[in-house]
Structure 1
Amino acid sequence: MPIVDAPEQFNQEDLYLDLHSTMGLPVYLKCEGFNFAGSIKLKAATEMVDAAERQGLLSSDSILIESSSGNLGVALSMIAANRGYDFECVTDARCNLATRLLIEAMGSRVKVITEGHPERGLLGARLDYVRERCASDPRYVWLNQHANPNNWKAHYRVTAPAIARRFPQLDVLFIGAGTTGTLMGCARYFRQTQPGTTIVAVDSVGSVTFGVPAGLRMIPGLGAGVRPALLDESFVDHVVHVPEAETVRVCHQLARSGFMFGGSTGTVIAGARRWLAEHRPAGEVTAVAIAPDFGERYLDTLYHTNWVREFYGPDVLDGLSTHEQYTH
């Protein structure tokens, strides 16, 4: 077992779930989140803070500030607590309660934006608030995960090489698109080292990332109301958009097999299923999908039947066997 003296020093990089038995899919799910922050966002958070320190942007009185739907906020609050920085996480009402409580438990502040920008939605309003805070006080340092190249560099340096070592003949890689840091880092790496690997981006219906109209989205993580500055579509071979109701069903199906993952994972798996049915119906493929986190932080939303039925209709969980349904 490793011995660490800082929380970001530990991350399990090499665990994969074979989805054949649970979902009937020829996909290996790379399980991120076995670290003290509980998600893949630990890598980007560490890379961005390290770079800011190297560049002399942070001092003892600096206040880190970041817009986050949740997981990056947890990772940054953990690093800030360990290194002695103040941190303010700017999020919105879609952020899970458990996530907000985790951030506050580590001594950071949470600002919840309740009213979206008329054109750029809640994310646009969050970003406007961050800019206002930075303009009002020079102590604020905005890492800006939406445009910071160290976001994607973390996955170019760590995530993608780990996948390539385990699967040297990878046919398809499915990656969810949020800030597109994971997507861009992995896509760049495989374009250079294994150009035959097909990169499939998976996004939520209602996200504007790939040029489709904006729509209501309730599950945090994937998708965006503002096109990510990091995105370079030339590295992406295919894009799949998944309705959130389908995300919910996949997550519940996995949970009934004993595997609880977050909404981003459900979306990525649903996207992989759609893409494989169209492009590789015979199933003869070596495919990997990335699971950013686990499901415990979503118990009051994604895994709460009343919440699910309120937003996605009373029939969204129909068709699951009796033991696959929650009762509240």
Structure 2
Amino acid sequence: MPVITAPHAFNEGNLFVDLESIFGYPLYLKCEGFNFAGSIKLKAANEMVESAERDGVLTPDSILVESSSGNLGVALSMIAASKGYRFLCVTDSRCNLSTRLLMEALGSQVHVVAGLDANGGFLGTRIDYVRSLCASDDRYVWLSQYTNAGNWRAHFRTTGPEIADNFPQLDVLFVGAGTTGTLMGCARYFRQWHRPVRIVAVDSVGSVAFGGKPGRRMIPGLGMSMRPPLLDESFVDEVIRVEEADTIRACHRMARRGFLFGGSTGTVVSGATDWLARHDAHDVTAVAIAPDLGERYLDTIYQTNWLQDLYGDQILDPAHMSTTASRPAERPDTPPPGHREEP
């Protein structure tokens, strides 16, 4: 039996859910929320903190600071509490109340910015605030998940190999795109693997990560209001953009079968199942990565008044619940499922 002394020492990396009975297409969902931080962000947080410690950047007087829409903030709060660091999370109004309360329960400070950036999001405003803090006091240490190579290295070392070990005949992998740390780590791992794997990035409509038109995004997690510095599109075969309404419907379809997942997971699943349906792909081995679970979304995605206020009374109409309407991004013609041209 596992016995641990630090919360970040435990992370279940080999749990997969077969979604075919729910969505009608073969799709295995890699569940990353079964750790004390509740999301895949524990991997990146641990890698970045340990790297900063090895490099001598972090000292007992340091104050960790990071911009986060929620999950990374929780992971860093947990690690900071375990290791004795102070931590300040800079977030915005889209961060779920339960997530903010959880960070504070772990002893962290939370600062919520209100102003929008040039692309109609909050990321630029959050980053400006972090930079001003670091300029004002050299005790602040910004790990910068957006530029830190430890973000993708964590998934090159762990997430990619975990999928490969369980699915040696993998054809296509669906990965949500936020900072693109998970995407880049997995894509780099499978680029060197023994067989070609098609890497499909799943983004949110309204995100500009892959050059899309900026728009309103109310569900935190995936999507960016700037191009992710870690992104190298040469490792990505295809991009799909998902409407938030389809994210919500995917979450509720899984919840009605007893699986409560978060918004990032709903986005990835919606994009993946739509892709499989458009390609009529019944004979491929497909895996999607579920970054989080659903408890932190009870007052948003799973709250009727919140849904109806933002998306209208028909958001959960049964007529729409069995279909998805994800949008392929504007990219060159792509080869058939299960095949990727070598570079």
Q: What's the TM-score once normalised by structure 1's chain length?
A: 0.96
In 2, Cα distance between the equivalents of 1:69 and 1:118? Answer: 18
- The 8 Å contact of residues 19 and 28 in structure 2, kept in 1 or not, is answered as yes
Matches within 5 A, 1:80-229: 80-119=80-119, 121-229=121-229
In 2, Cα distance between the equivalents of 1:245 and 1:154? Answer: 31
- SS class of match (1:290): strand
Q: Which amino acid aligns with 2:112?
A: V
In 1, Cα distance between the equivalents of 2:27 and 2:237? Answer: 18
Residue 313 of structure 1 is matched in structure 2 by 312
Residue 302 of structure 2 is matched in structure 1 by 303
Q: Which amino acid aligns with 2:86?
A: D
- SS class of match (1:193): coil
- The 8 Å contact of residues 147 and 229 in structure 2, kept in 1 or not, is answered as yes
Distance 1:120 1:144, change over 3 A: farther
Q: Summarize deviations over 1:251-306 as a string: whole Å, max 9, x none.
A: 01110110000001110011011211223x04111000000010000000010011
In 1, Cα distance between the equivalents of 2:21 and 2:246? Answer: 19
- The 8 Å contact of residues 69 and 92 in structure 2, kept in 1 or not, is answered as yes
Unaligned 5+ runs, structure 2: 322-343
In 2, Cα distance between the equivalents of 1:194 and 1:240? Answer: 26
Residue 333 of structure 2 is matched in structure 1 by none
| Over 6 Å off, 4+ runs | none
- The 8 Å contact of residues 120 and 226 in structure 1, kept in 2 or not, is answered as no
Q: What's the TM-score once normalised by structure 2's chain length?
A: 0.92
In 2, Cα distance between the equivalents of 1:277 and 1:210? Answer: 23
Distance 1:127 1:282, change over 3 A: closer
Distance 1:54 1:300, change over 3 A: same
Aligned-CA RMSD value:
1.3
- SS class of match (1:132): helix
Q: Which amino acid aligns with 2:222?
A: L
In 2, Cα distance between the equivalents of 1:298 and 1:285? Answer: 32
Q: CA deviation at 1:114?
A: 1.1
Q: CA deviation at 1:193?
A: 1.1
Q: CA deviation at 1:17?
A: 0.3
Q: CA deviation at 1:320?
A: 6.5
Q: Which amino acid aligns with 1:98?
A: S
Q: CA deviation at 1:309?
A: 1.0
Identical-pair percentage: 66
- The 8 Å contact of residues 175 and 201 in structure 2, kept in 1 or not, is answered as yes
Q: Which amino acid aligns with 2:50?
A: D
Distance 1:174 1:84, change over 3 A: same
In 2, Cα distance between the equivalents of 1:143 and 1:11? Answer: 22
Residue 291 of structure 1 is matched in structure 2 by 290
- SS class of match (1:104): helix
Aligned residues: 321
